[in-house]
Chains A and B, each alone.
Chain A
Amino acid sequence: MDTTTDRSGDVRLTGISRTYGSFTAVHPLDLTVPQGSFFALLGASGCGKTTTLRMIAGLEEPTAGTVRLGDRDVTALPPHKRPVNTVFQSYALFPHLDIFENVAFGLRRRGIKSVKKQVEEMLELVQLGEQARKKPHQLSGGQQQRVAVARALINHPQVLLLDEPLGALDLKLRRQMQLELKRIQTEVGITFIHVTHDQEEAMTMADTVAVMNAGRVEQLGPPADLYENPRTTFVANFLGTSNLIEAEADATSGDDVLLKAGACTLALPRARCSAPTAAGGRVLVGIRPEKISLTHADESAGIPAGRNRVTGRIAATSYIGVSTQYVVDSPVCPAFQVYAQNIDRDPRLVPGAEVVAHWNPAHTFGLDAAQDIGAGVAEAGVPQAAEEALA
């Protein structure tokens, strides 16, 4: 391969786009993935994330724009001439070749004769040394997945592309493989670009996540940043759950903006608001359900001052072990969600009970009210099985 400089593994997409007839799969997109990072493209099916990945691999031709690896423009290179390898969805292992030959495939195509040592080392890395002479269908899903990774990594690509690499595995195995992939990435230090629709997968593995929707990147950043401070309703709803309250900017108090929603006044740190906050401006006030505490209305006097409060009546509860999820019917938000840890549960918190939901204003975020308040809800709700059926 090329002499490795620090930036040779950078992937830079400039104004890249892809249209099929009148359908635009990817709108012009600028994206830089720094060398050595674990980058995730997260989105629902049909959002353009796989098309973006395939354009980097060379399997799809961009309608416009360029793909650069380090300083090299590879836009016109066919896939077999790009120093980029892919772990395909459902692996695409060659059924007629055994595991050894699957892993050796890339080396042999580049004319390397003595592949034995390298292949054996690579199989050890993914803990499949014993299976070298088996055929792909004789392996379990998790083992096949590791072969797919080994087959790509053995070529020391500048960038490894992973297209829903864990989609076909069951939940437990997926967890295990997430850690495994993360370990391998740290070990080999190659740039990983990972496409997934599973927000949990993206957040546990990636340093940087780009949330895509309808052919555009909605927001890009470290997972915690995306979760704690979403900039659009799509990100707020697609990544986890958010309570969004329509409110109107009223006044300011220090670094906080004070907003009125019905009878409530809510405080919001100005730095955490992506919408204009002039008085009278409309803002969607967001708060994650697990940041909220519930107190029975009878005890509301005991709530410390300075916290945001919303009053309402419990409409439904569901006990899910680690927490209890409450749906509170509030005048400012019809289905206000609250997740409470199951410690010191107040037995009076049952459907019908009048409650006050309150939280530290520092956790509040503000979004532009011009957006669709429900964006991303449906996409996040698509169960994986249904999505695979669609694919």
Chain B
Amino acid sequence: MSFATSFVRRLRRHLVVLAGLLTLGYLLLPNVIVTVFSFNDPKGRFNYEWQGFSADAWRDPCGVSGLCDSLAVSLQIAAWATLGATVLGTMTAFALARYRFRARGAVNSLIFLPMAMPEAVMAASLLTLFLNLGAELGFWTILIAHIMFCLSFVVVAVKARVLSMDPRLEEAARDLYAGPLQTFRRVTLPITAPGIAAGALLAFALSFDDFIITNFTAGSTVTFPMFVWGSAQRGTPVQINVVGTAMFAVAVLFVLAGTAVANRRRKQQA
């Protein structure tokens, strides 16, 4: 009896932990599947059922025609979109964080709306624009679209960092003989760099992974998500899972290394 009561009590105490861990499992299960199935040896065209172990796909990740080309296109677009969105977004963020001006509310709304708009709507309207202007769909239309939807996210990340910066630091620089340009280069930029980097990283991830908007604006250009989408109709090569697993591993290692460095730095300071 008392054992049962204490068991129920402990279960109730840890119920939230249990539920949380189940959710975490739900979130991570697909990644486990993606990883496991990167070692699959499928019989048919689709890689949905486990057949047997094989590391062939890992040995030859570019073995499927078009896959590595699409990866290269995606990386190129993501790099340029990151650059464009980061420059434009950082400028906008500084204007919003530092200055009072007319039409502030309108500008805030214009930056917020792309984040609140279903991608399908933005994609459809962009396509309408491009069709009306007679623009040729391809690399450039994808890039334009990606800069557009990454911009707002960069603004949010950078603006938060600029707002949290002590304005006295810039005053101190000006007081110590730094002109406006030097103040920006020597003080403002280094201190806001983490926010800009976060914005850039987010922009890269969003652009690299975008499918919905790219699907409308790509024409015959094939990005990596487009390639995956196409293969979901025609047949999914194991190499897709290899790329997915590698991306996941690199990203997690990157983050873990980052936190480890940060932790060590914190320990040294303590």
Q: Is there any pair of Cβ atoms, one from A and one from B, under 8 angstroms apart in the complex?
A: yes
Q: Is the interface of B mostly helix, strand, loop or mixed?
A: helix
Smallest CB–CB gap between B195 and chain A, Å? 13
B172 in the interface (beta carbon within 8 A):
yes
**Beyond A92-B166, A95-B191, A96-B191, is A80–B172 a contact (Cβ under 8 Å)?**
no
Residues 108-138 of chain A: 1 if any B CB is under 8 Å from the residue's CB, otherwise 0? 0110000000000000000000000001011
A residues 133-160 in Cβ contact with B at 8 Å: 135, 137-138, 151-152, 155
Most B Cβ at <10 Å: residue of A85, A96, A135:
A96
Smallest CB–CB gap between A230 and chain B, Å? 34
B169 in the interface (beta carbon within 8 A):
yes
Residues 86-107 of chain A: 1 if any B CB is under 8 Å from the residue's CB, otherwise 0? 1011101111100000000110
A46 in the interface (beta carbon within 8 A):
no
Smallest CB–CB gap between B103 and chain A, Å? 21
Complex: A86 Cα to B174 Cα, angstroms: 10
Residues 345-362 of chain A: 1 if any B CB is under 8 Å from the residue's CB, otherwise 0? 000000000000000000
**Beyond A94-B169, A95-B191, A96-B191, is A109–B175 a contact (Cβ under 8 Å)?**
no
A109 is contacted by which of B166, B168, B178, B190 (Cβ under 8 Å)?
Answer: B178
**Residues of A with C-beta under 8 A to B168:** 88-90, 92
**Beyond A79-B171, A92-B171, is A85–B176 a contact (Cβ under 8 Å)?**
yes
Smallest CB–CB gap between A100 and chain B, Å? 14
Complex: A88 Cα to B169 Cα, angstroms: 9
B residues 190-212 in Cβ contact with A at 8 Å: 190-191
Residues 241-284 of chain A: 1 if any B CB is under 8 Å from the residue's CB, otherwise 0? 00000000000000000000000000000000000000000000
A33 in the interface (beta carbon within 8 A):
no
A166 in the interface (beta carbon within 8 A):
no
Q: Are A106 and B166 in contact (CB under 8 A)?
A: no
Q: Are B191 and A105 in contact (CB under 8 A)?
A: no
**Residues of B with C-beta under 8 A to A94:** 169, 172-173, 187, 191
Complex: A105 Cα to B186 Cα, angstroms: 9
Smallest CB–CB gap between B267 and chain A, Å? 12
Smallest CB–CB gap between B132 and chain A, Å? 48
Q: Are B190 and A96 in contact (CB under 8 A)?
A: yes
Q: Are B174 and A92 in contact (CB under 8 A)?
A: no
Q: Are B176 and A59 in contact (CB under 8 A)?
A: no
A306 in the interface (beta carbon within 8 A):
no
**Residues of B with C-beta under 8 A to A11:** none
Which A residue's beta carbon lies closest to that of B269?
A: A138
Q: Are A86 and B182 in contact (CB under 8 A)?
A: no
Q: Are A155 and B176 in contact (CB under 8 A)?
A: yes
**Residues of A with C-beta under 8 A to B187:** 94
Q: Are B176 and A105 in contact (CB under 8 A)?
A: yes
B177 in the interface (beta carbon within 8 A):
yes
Residues 244-270 of chain B: 1 if any A CB is under 8 Å from the residue's CB, otherwise 0? 000000000000000000000000010
Q: What class of interface size applies to chain A in its complex with B?
A: 20 to 34
B118 in the interface (beta carbon within 8 A):
no
A residues 321-338 in Cβ contact with B at 8 Å: none
Complex: A206 Cα to B172 Cα, angstroms: 24
B44 in the interface (beta carbon within 8 A):
no
Complex: A152 Cα to B179 Cα, angstroms: 16
Complex: A90 Cα to B249 Cα, angstroms: 43
Which B residue's beta carbon lies closest to that of A138?
A: B269
Residues 61-99 of chain A: 1 if any B CB is under 8 Å from the residue's CB, otherwise 0? 000000000000000001111001110111011111000
Complex: A88 Cα to B182 Cα, angstroms: 20
Most B Cβ at <10 Å: residue of A80, A84, A137, A152:
A80
Smallest CB–CB gap between B220 and chain A, Å? 47
Complex: A57 Cα to B177 Cα, angstroms: 11
Q: Are A92 and B178 in contact (CB under 8 A)?
A: no
Complex: A152 Cα to B178 Cα, angstroms: 13
Q: Are A57 and B175 in contact (CB under 8 A)?
A: yes
Q: Are B174 and A80 in contact (CB under 8 A)?
A: yes
Complex: A151 Cα to B225 Cα, angstroms: 54
Complex: A378 Cα to B186 Cα, angstroms: 43
Complex: A78 Cα to B175 Cα, angstroms: 9
Q: Are A80 and B190 in contact (CB under 8 A)?
A: no
Most A Cβ at <10 Å: residue of B173, B174, B179, B191:
B174
Q: Are B190 and A85 in contact (CB under 8 A)?
A: no
Q: Are B176 and A106 in contact (CB under 8 A)?
A: yes
Complex: A96 Cα to B190 Cα, angstroms: 7
**Residues of B with C-beta under 8 A to A95:** 169, 191
Smallest CB–CB gap between A110 and chain B, Å? 5
B175 is contacted by which of A79, A89, A135, A138 (Cβ under 8 Å)?
Answer: A79
**Residues of A with C-beta under 8 A to B269:** 135, 137-138
Complex: A59 Cα to B171 Cα, angstroms: 7
Complex: A155 Cα to B172 Cα, angstroms: 13
**Beyond A90-B168, A96-B191, A138-B269, is A105–B173 a contact (Cβ under 8 Å)?**
yes
A151 is contacted by which of B169, B176, B190 (Cβ under 8 Å)?
Answer: B176
A106 is contacted by which of B169, B177, B179 (Cβ under 8 Å)?
Answer: B177
Complex: A81 Cα to B174 Cα, angstroms: 9
Q: Are B169 and A109 in contact (CB under 8 A)?
A: no
Q: Are A92 and B177 in contact (CB under 8 A)?
A: no
Complex: A137 Cα to B166 Cα, angstroms: 14
Smallest CB–CB gap between A59 and chain B, Å? 5
**Residues of B with C-beta under 8 A to A96:** 190-191
Complex: A105 Cα to B170 Cα, angstroms: 12
Which B residue's beta carbon lies closest to that of A154?
A: B176
Return 6 A-B CB contacts under 8 Å, by A number.
A57-B175, A78-B179, A80-B175, A80-B183, A94-B173, A152-B176
Taking A85-B175, A86-B171, A88-B175 as known contacts, 12 extra A-B pairs with beta carbons closer than 8 A to each other, sorted by chain A number, are A59-B175, A79-B171, A80-B174, A88-B171, A88-B172, A90-B166, A93-B172, A94-B169, A105-B173, A106-B176, A109-B176, A109-B178
In the complex, the 3 A-B pairs of residues with the closest C-beta atoms, listed nearest first: A106-B176, A92-B168, A109-B177
